[in-house]
């Protein structure tokens, strides 16, 4: 397991994005806090494959009732990840195994590390070797 944050770092009813990397893996997840529990999903819209929220950590709709894709406005149920409105109606977000232990939020996956947004952004800017 890898610690993502303190539970108190995510206000109740809100969500936060995290970048993780591991061997042959680089993903962004979202973690939604619901009271003293959390739910996690990959930050990938099933309609376009784009991030639900490109970097602003505003994953919830205005009422805090649903997860929203900021690209095209699709709405997803928090508990199931099912799209209930938008071009990907009926599709689901891919769940990620997250849990709370001793007020810390963990991703239940081995061989990955948490990468902050700035580090990820800077590594994306590094020149690549010519092939």
Output the CA–CA distances (angstroms, integers) from residue 108 to 99, 119, 128, in the order listed: 7, 23, 32
CA-CA distance, 58 to 54, in Å (whole number)? 9
What are the domain boundaries of the chain? Answer: 2-112
Task: Provide the pLDDT for residue 40.
Answer: 96
pTM of this prediction exceeds 0.85: no
User: pLDDT tens per residue, the chain (131 residues)?
Assistant: 899 999 999 999 999 999 988 887 778 899 999 999 999 999 999 988 888 886 677 899 999 999 999 888 899 999 999 999 999 999 999 999 999 999 999 998 877 887 775 544 445 555 545 54
According to CATH, the superfamily of the domain at 2-112 is Rieske [2Fe-2S] iron-sulphur domain (2.102.10.10)
Say if residues 47 and 88 touch (Cβ distance below 8 Å). Answer: yes
What is the bridge-based pairing of β-strands 2-6 and 66-68? Answer: unpaired
């Amino acid at each position: 397991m890898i610690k993502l944050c303190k539970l108190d770092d995510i206000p109740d009813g809100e969500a936060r994005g995290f970048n993780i990397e591991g061997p042959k893996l680089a993903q962004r997840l979202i973690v939604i806090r619901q009271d003293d529990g959390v739910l996690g999903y990959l930050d990938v819209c099933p309609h376009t494959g784009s991030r639900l929220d490109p970097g602003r950590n505003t994953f919830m709709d205005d009422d805090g009732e649903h997860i929203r894709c900021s690209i095209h406005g699709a709405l997803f149920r928090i508990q199931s990840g099912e799209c209930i409105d938008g071009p990907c109606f009926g599709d689901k977000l891919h769940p990620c195994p997250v849990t709370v232990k001793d007020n810390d939020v963990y991703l239940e996956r081995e061989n990955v590390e948490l990468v902050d947004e700035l580090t990820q952004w800077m590594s994306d800017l590094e020149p690549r070797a010519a092939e």
